[in-house]
Amino acid sequence: MDKWFTYIDGVWRFKFDTNSYSASREAAKACRFFVEDDEDEQTDDHSQSCFNCLYRRWGLNCFDCYKKVGTS
């Protein structure tokens, strides 16, 4: 997962921006913890995308993954 995330200040931060759909989809495809969030909170038409995941928390620039934290 290090291809897509960096460990910063105690959280795993997505390395890309909010328009990086390919990276978000690739990361979700490779992740065994992916769970789709409420449909109204999704921002990618492709369902299996970290942008749509229950365990992402949006921040100022993009999102942090909270499931990955729990498994690190």
Name the minimum Å distance from CB 1 to other proteins.
19
Give residue 7's identity as a one-letter amino acid code: Y
- Give the residue ranges of DSSP H helices in 1-72: 21-29, 66-71
Whether 21 contacts 70, CB under 8 Å: no
State the Cα–Cα distance between residues 4 and 65, nearest whole angstrom: 11
**Contact set with other proteins (CB under 8 A):** 18, 21, 37-45, 54-60, 66
Closer to other proteins at the Cβ: 2 or 45?
Answer: 45
Closer to other proteins at the Cβ: 18 or 48?
Answer: 18
Name the minimum Å distance from CB 3 to other proteins.
22
